[in-house]
A and B are shown apart, each in its own frame.
Chain A
Amino acid sequence: MAMRPIATTRQVTGIPTGRLATWWVIGSEIVIFGGLLGSYLMHRLVNMQWANYAAHTNTWAGAFNTLVLLTSSLSAVLAHHAASHGDGKKAARYLWMTMGGGALFVAVKAVEWTHEIQLGYTISSNAFWAFYYTAAGLHALHVIAGVIIMGIISVACLKNEDLHRVELIGNYWHFVDLVWIFLFPLLYIAK
């Protein structure tokens, strides 16, 4: 391994620096999604007719995606478990499963959106659809980013390098999962 600054090797709080940094990223993401969803809720509460727009969302697709993401979170946990036992190959395989879940999620989303757009519900239809596409789209970007980062980490895992990163991407993935747990009822179920 290349030499690192001494700063990187210190751990005064006892918490690994990488984990602190991941929490920082997650913290700043929470406020971003918090701001977006808070804004959505404020509108939703005063616009009763939004329930009629929400009726056109595909609850089944959303539910299926929820299941996909929860499953992929499970494989992320298993990847972390394998990594903490030093088994990089196994961790990589579990990461690939998680990536597969992420990809499936995005694919379902694509089909769903295509259908909705064909029906004429686009991002500029009204404020509900604007929130719908923006919030879910921002979330989907996070899914895609997570899949890409996981790909990079899994390559290193195969060489048994930087296994602690599996935990970090796992934490991020759980966060992405959690955001969806908020989005799904707010955008799909509430009708």
Chain B
Amino acid sequence: MAESVPAADVHAHDDHGHHEQSFASKYLFSTDHKMIAMQYMFTGMAMALIGGFFAYAFRMQLAFPGMDVPFWGQVSAAEYNALVTNHGTIMIFWVAMPVLIAAFGNYLIPLMCGCDDMVFPRLNRLSYQIFLLSAVVLIASFFVEGGAFGGAWTAYPPLSAKAEYSLTPLGSTIWVIAVALEFVAFLLGGINFVTTAMNSRAEGMGMYDIPVVIWMIVIASILFMASVGPLIAGAVMLVFDQTLGTNFFDPDRGGDPILWQHLFWFFGHPEVYVVLLPALGITADIMATFSRKKIFAYKTVLYTTFATGVLSFMVWAHHQFIAGVDPRMAHVFTITTLLISIPIAELCFVYIATLYKGSITLSTPMLWALAFLGEFLIGGVTGIFLGASGADVYFHDTYFVLAHFHYTFFPIAIIGTFAGVTYWFPKMFGRMMNETLGKIHFWGTVIPFNCIFIPLFFLGMGGQHRRIYNYENFPELAGQGMQDIRIFATVSLLVMLAFQVVFFINFIMSLRSGKKAPNNPWRANTLEWQTPSPPPHGNFGSEMPKVYRGPYEYGTPGREEDFWPQNAPS
């Protein structure tokens, strides 16, 4: 346990020059939660660029089969598989998780709970270092003999277990090791998120005074911890199958390939909620702030989240309806899957109700938050088709599935992240972002996003199945009509990628010359806004805040101001 922390590391007496930290100790080996959050965020963004580049390369191949893709070259079948596999892996494990849970969790939990750092700062640093290592390991798999793993992010054996099938003798092992390292990093990170939020809250902050985003990150960490174990065991088995010649997944010698699918999806489905919940939390806080409203039925939000979390452990086999498991199981999992639509629908209703009778300002963060809700709704309702066993028989492994989960993951990982970044940017860097550029970037992302994925729903209905590098071999899918749709989706992707430049310009310009941010530019209640922007080392200066009320007291009758900070004495 990293409990004893040298005085130089934390809690510095903040006069400058006294503790002049070297570059390395300030940026690379810092134990400060804010710096670790930045490290996670920038690593995540860098990985998002890589994942986005992969998407560009394979979408170009789909739209214009056989072309020389600029900056990549010809996309061979093996490369195509490696690209889609690692696009998925990176976007979920190296973008959504580090940015949504680790970056926002690290940044917000100590600030919003009113303490100076995480409980175990060195453990926190170790978690990031393992995470960084895992990212490097994953990228390394592209440069080994045989190339990167191409058996899909689900890595079903026997394809993933034997080099003679996957033809990537090193790539598949490196892939599993990278993913397992990433899991370890997040298990370590989770210790801090949960213990800090449980034990180190400011004086007076009760359970129901915790901002929703903190609740969500904590519940997500618990879901992750409770679901990932079997897959870690599975990863060990898979690596042994690959390297030691064991037969966990080899049916010829007593193993069972289906076992991996259970281990994977027992984790894989809760994992969706692991990344969904922080994004929901971010949007909850933003929607409350910019509609100047209390979250509608705060406790209901928590209870439905708990219900979702519990139910998420009982739905995994809806990914395996047609995988050759006992067909009777499909009924059980259809029922549980459709039941999970109830708490999620309720959450959507509650979020919409939060707008009711508010005073809504459509600032950039608010636009992102609203877009999250609108887009996620599409992802939610299309999931019903896939959760119903009888309909899944047709839709399984088509582009309908692909479009469906991009309508969940894109709002989560991209829209949710942009919402959070634009909202907390003033706090993180002490400067305001440019609203005009922010809005250009918003529309330039959201409109092309829909242009990419709505057509893919139709391709899915037309029977186009996934992970095919070139549809020419399937006469029913090779028609010009379908090809035009593919081209349209790819062009939309190019437009969307181009608009990300606007974000980076805005980010860098605002960082260098944005308007100085006041402590509380959005006039919000939560504790992080009650300290200077950016917060000093130790977060709250000499006196730690005391909490007197919940986080969403907007428009309280009888008060002049329409907000009421949590730490303001009444």
Contact = CB atoms under 8 A, between A and B. Distances in A.
Interface string A29-48: 11111111011001100010
A7 B116 contact: yes
B196 A7 contact: yes
Contacts of B171: none
B118 interface: yes
Contacts of A42: 256, 259
Interface string B470-514: 000000000000000000000000000000000000000000000
Secondary structure call for the A interface: helix
Contacts of A30: 229
B528 to A, nearest CB: 15
A39 B259 contact: yes
Contact of B248 (A22, A47, A130): A130
Contacts of B121: 5
A162 B1 CA distance: 11
B120 interface: yes
A117 interface: no
Nearest to B4: A2
B263 interface: yes
A188 interface: no
B187 A21 contact: no
B201 A12 contact: yes
B194 A24 contact: yes
A130 B233 CA distance: 13
B233 A127 contact: no
Interface residues of A, number: 48
Contacts of B339: none
Given A4-B3, A4-B10, A10 B200 contact: yes
Given A3-B5, A5-B5, A12-B201, A126 B247 contact: yes
B240 A123 contact: yes
Given A6-B115, A24-B225, A47 B254 contact: yes
Nearest to A34: B229
A20 B187 contact: no
B236 A138 contact: yes
Contacts of B236: 36, 134, 138
B205 to A, nearest CB: 8
Most chain-A Cβ atoms within 10 A of its Cβ — which of B110, B196, B544?
B196
Contacts of A130: 237, 240, 246-248, 255
Given A7-B118, A124-B246, 7 more contacts: A3-B5, A5-B11, A6-B115, A8-B119, A31-B227, A35-B233, A35-B234
Interface in B45-92: none
B199 interface: yes
Contacts of B196: 7
Given A5-B5, A6-B544, A31-B227, A126 B198 contact: no
B3 A39 contact: no
Contacts of B234: 35, 39
Contacts of A28: 187, 190, 225, 228-229
A34 B266 CA distance: 12
Nearest to A16: B199
A11 interface: yes
Given A123-B240, A128-B254, A12 B200 contact: yes
25 contacts: A2-B4, A3-B11, A4-B4, A4-B5, A5-B11, A5-B117, A5-B121, A6-B11, A6-B115, A8-B119, A8-B120, A12-B198, A18-B1, A20-B199, A21-B119, A21-B191, A28-B187, A28-B229, A36-B233, A36-B236, A39-B237, A39-B263, A43-B255, A123-B240, A134-B248
Interface in B220-272: 225-234, 236-237, 240, 244-248, 250, 253-256, 259, 263, 266
Most chain-B Cβ atoms within 10 A of its Cβ — which of A28, A42, A123?
A28
A34 B146 CA distance: 35
A168 interface: yes
B226 A27 contact: yes
A168 B3 CA distance: 13
Contacts of B233: 32-33, 35-36, 39, 138
A43 B256 contact: yes
